[in-house]
Amino acid sequence: MDRSEPRMPHMVDEDERRREISEATLRITEQRGASAVTIRAVADELGRSTAFVTNYVPSRAQLMFNALDHARDLWVNERDEATRRTSGVSRLVELSRWMCQTGTHDTALRSLWIEVIAGSGEEMKVVTDLTDDTCAEFHESASAAGLERAAEIADILYLYARGFHVKNVEDPANWNDVRVGRALEVLLTSLLTEPS
């Protein structure tokens, strides 16, 4: 009879596992597109079984939700960093510029975002929470800048950035950061320059 101490079960960091699954989902999206994201593809990317994946993320829709959910904190931190030292009109301008650029995994995340929007259900919650939060940032920045018609200016800039996200997924070669940034500067000048 073995009288040694009973072995403690190995503690699994579920957040870490979901992060690994998120990164595998993004790699697949970047290499083959959002339509290629499946539980089997993610399991193969990780060198694991499908049971491993479904233990943490039970469906294809949840794979996309998981990737977007893990990106949320990164996006919020990047947004806050981009606008941290600004106020008034400068804050609104920097927020607009941040929304119209492409960072690590952004195109893949936008693809997943569009895929989730095309669906329905609880997966939409992370998308709407994040987009509502960003829209609120535009409204707060425009209002704090004391702009006449602040709400309309915030809506225009927000919708412009969201339009860029869709076109950047549809045709990234033509709708790149440089092209969109040039048009954004014209838009900002038109919206934020006081008539003489």
Give the domain CATH number at 183.
1.10.357.10
Instruction: Quote the number of domains for the chain.
Output: 1
Angle between helices 106-118 and 14-32 (to 10 degrees): 90
Q: How confident is the model at residue 126 (pLDDT cuts 50, 70, 90)?
A: low
Asked, for residue 95, whether it belongs to a domain, the answer is: yes
What is the rounded CA–CA span in Å between residue 47 and residue 43? Answer: 6
What is the rounded CA–CA span in Å between residue 171 and residue 174? Answer: 6
- In the predicted model, is pLDDT for residue 81 greater than 70? yes
Asked, for residue 106, whether it belongs to a domain, the answer is: yes
Q: How confident is the model at residue 6 (pLDDT cuts 50, 70, 90)?
A: low
Least confident piece of the model among 54-68, 120-134, 146-160, 181-195? 120-134
Asked, for residue 53, whether it belongs to a domain, the answer is: yes
Yes or no: say if 142 and 153 are a contact pair by the CB < 8 Å rule. Answer: yes
Asked, for residue 109, whether it belongs to a domain, the answer is: yes
Yes or no: say if 184 and 100 are a contact pair by the CB < 8 Å rule. Answer: yes
- In the predicted model, is pLDDT for residue 26 greater than 90? yes
Q: What is the pLDDT of residues 138-171, one digit of tens each?
A: 999 999 999 999 999 999 999 999 999 999 888 9
Asked, for residue 8, whether it belongs to a domain, the answer is: no
Nearest in space to 45 (alpha carbons), one of 18, 27, 72, 63:
27
What is the rounded CA–CA span in Å between residue 12 and residue 25? Answer: 20
Yes or no: say if 44 and 59 are a contact pair by the CB < 8 Å rule. Answer: no
Query: What is the pTM assigned to this prediction?
Result: 0.78
Provide the residue range defining the domain that includes 106: 14-192
